[in-house]
């Protein structure tokens, strides 16, 4: 599966129903949905995944599962997103095959190079700005690192971490192919409208 | 790997679940002891560990267990099982549905935990290779599954399904015999096998009550 040219990826949070959030995000123009729910059971994840995949199909958006390569494979999702603590990229690639979309979270050039060598299809780079969506002990990277990683690896870079309407243009100007958000959409009063605004700014 | 049911070992040992807490490295020590004691099923069940750590441990367990013809099962995660070369997965009742997993990972044996006759029948229909049924007796670690099922319900499950059933929950060596008499293929336990130094003799003690 190929990535869209400039796109917004909406990641599910721990509070909203993931299916409902996906529906609102897709209505608002998100081109990728990532199901991420660290404490859910396999059964819950699978049931959500089936319904989100159906929605994504209708909107021709990509659907990826965080961490759980087994679930992505069982339901033939478009791909997975892997953190540095997840299954190695090469192992995921051998399970999912050459066409699956595999994203890898990195925080710098070395991890990005390794991800590319191991078969990643895109880089999730962050956190760019301060964020409280995930426990982060390291300082934010800033937008300069987007340029550095773009120069170092020949893969699309999806920027993540503290991105909202006010700083989307900085990230895109630095060379990101897309942005990924959790709280900017899931935490918004109107997730669909928040998505629309982010997408508008991605293209501005 | 294609293991027919009658070749499954009689003893199913579950890892501590505490690799990320006070028992780091315990699973590998258990595996080393198991490797000297002959075939068992060893289930790596460490919900507190991230996938990368589980994968590392599973790969190392695979290497250690290979010499003993023991089977390695990874709890829940078919991706980690396949990538590490494990023999199969063990699915809890709230796992990703078995039919989807069977289809996506046909080379893996799929064991399943069940707590009722209905779930046992359903699991067999879905392609489970074996079942863990319990808790047969009272045990602190299984209190969340309600009161013990007892030997009669175990017997009913064993009569109804044709795949191997392992009794789980408060299974002492002496009680193993009673479970076998009710039709269980083998027994599964966690606590009795945590003491690594005593592990070979613990396994021998259980074996004395189990068919060969």
pLDDT of residue B2: 42
Cα separation of A110 and B45, whole Å?
32
Cα separation of B4 and A131, whole Å?
52
pLDDT of residue A66: 98
All residues of chain A having their beta carbon less than 8 Å from the beta carbon of residue B107 are none
Q: What residues in chain B have per-residue pLDDT under 50?
A: 1-3
CB A25 within 8 Å of CB A186: no
pLDDT of residue A5: 85
All residues of chain A having their beta carbon less than 8 Å from the beta carbon of residue B78 are 70, 73-74
CATH no. for residue A43? 3.20.20.70
Domain of A147 in residue numbering reads as: 7-203
Is A83 a member of any domain? Answer: yes
Buried b (16+ CB within 10 A) or exposed e, B51-60: bbebbebbbe
Q: How far is A88 from chain B (nearest CA, A)?
A: 7
Yes or no, beta carbons of A95 and B83 under 8 Å apart: yes
| Number of domains comprising chain A | 1
Is A197 a member of any domain? Answer: yes
Residue A134 has pLDDT above 70, yes or no: no
Q: Which residue of A has its CA nearest to B101?
A: A74
Cα end-to-end distance, chain B, whole Å: 22
Is A2 a member of any domain? Answer: no
A182-to-A37, A191, B175 alpha-carbon distances in Å: 12, 10, 52
Query: Nearest Cβ partner of A95 from B79, B97, B101?
Result: B79
Strands A157-160 and B88-91, sheet pairing: unpaired
Among the listed residues A145, A178, A159, A191, the one whose alpha carbon sits nearest the alpha carbon of residue A23: A191
Q: Per-residue pLDDT tens for A68-125? A: 999 999 999 999 999 999 999 999 999 999 999 999 999 999 999 999 999 999 999 9
Is A15 a member of any domain? Answer: yes
Is A19 a member of any domain? Answer: yes
Query: In what helix (H) or strand (E) does residue B29 lie, and over which residues does it extend?
Result: helix B26-35
pLDDT of residue B144: 72
Q: Per-residue pLDDT tens for A34-68? A: 999 999 999 999 999 999 999 999 999 999 999 99
Stretch A5-26: mean pLDDT = 97
Q: Per-residue pLDDT tens for B88-135? A: 999 999 999 999 999 999 999 999 999 999 999 999 999 999 999 999
Domains of chain B: 7-209 (3.20.20.70)
Cα angle A174, A113, A30; round to 5: 50
As for the ipTM of the complex, it is 0.94
pLDDT of residue A4: 84
CB A160 within 8 Å of CB A125: yes
Yes or no, beta carbons of B51 and A74 under 8 Å apart: no
Grouping H, G, I as helix, E, B as strand and the rest as coil, residue A196 is helix
- pLDDT band for A136, please (50, 70, 90 cuts): low
Among the listed residues A196, A148, A204, A203, the one whose alpha carbon sits nearest the alpha carbon of residue A30: A196
Cα separation of B80 and B84, whole Å?
6
Query: In what helix (H) or strand (E) does residue A160 lie, and over which residues does it extend?
Result: strand A157-160
pLDDT of residue A103: 98
């Amino acid at each position: 599966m190929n990535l869209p040219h400039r796109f917004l990826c909406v990641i599910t949070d721990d509070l909203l129903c993931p299916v409902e959030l996906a529906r609102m995000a897709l209505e608002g123009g998100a081109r990728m949905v990532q199901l991420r729910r660290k404490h859910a059971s396999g059964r819950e994840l699978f049931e959500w995944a089936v319904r989100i995949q159906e929605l994504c199909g209708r909107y021709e958006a990509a659907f990826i599962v965080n961490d759980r390569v087994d679930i992505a494979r069982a339901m033939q999702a478009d791909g997975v997103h892997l953190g540095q603590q997840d299954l190695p990229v090469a192992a995921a690639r051998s399970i999912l095959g050459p066409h699956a979309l595999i994203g890898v979270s990195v925080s710098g050039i070395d991890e990005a190079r390794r991800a590319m060598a191991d078969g990643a299809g895109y880089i999730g780079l962050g956190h760019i700005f301060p964020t409280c969506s995930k426990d982060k002990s390291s300082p934010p990277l800033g937008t300069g690192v987007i340029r550095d990683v773009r120069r170092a690896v020949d893969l699309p870079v999806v920027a993540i971490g503290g991105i909202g309407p006010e700083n989307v243009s900085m990230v895109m100007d630095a060379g990101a192919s897309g942005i990924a958000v959790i709280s900017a959409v899931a935490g918004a009063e109107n997730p669909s409208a928040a998505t629309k605004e982010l997408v508008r700014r991605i293209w501005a | 790997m294609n293991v027919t049911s009658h070749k499954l070992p009689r003893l199913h040992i579950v890892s501590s679940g505490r690799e990320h807490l006070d028992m780091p490295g315990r699973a590998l020590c258990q595996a080393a002891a198991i490797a000297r004691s002959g075939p068992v099923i060893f289930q790596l069940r460490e919900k507190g560990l991230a996938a990368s750590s589980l994968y590392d441990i599973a790969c190392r367990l695979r290497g250690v267990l290979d010499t003993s013809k023991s089977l390695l099962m990874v709890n829940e995660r078919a991706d980690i099982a396949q990538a590490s070369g494990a023999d199969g997965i063990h699915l809890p009742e709230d796992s990703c549905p078995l039919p989807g997993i069977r289809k996506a990972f046909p080379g893996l044996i799929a064991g399943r935990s069940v707590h009722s006759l209905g779930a046992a029948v359903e699991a067999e229909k879905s392609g489970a290779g074996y079942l863990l049924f319990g808790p047969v007796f009272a045990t602190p670690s299984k209190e969340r599954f309600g009161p013990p099922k007892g030997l009669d319900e175990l017997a009913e499950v064993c009569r109804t399904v044709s795949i191997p059933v392992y009794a789980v929950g408060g299974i002492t060596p002496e009680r193993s015999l009673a479970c076998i008499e009710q039709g269980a293929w083998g027994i599964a336990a966690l606590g009795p096998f945590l003491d690594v130094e005593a592990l070979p003799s613990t396994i021998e003690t259980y074996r004395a009550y189990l068919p060969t």
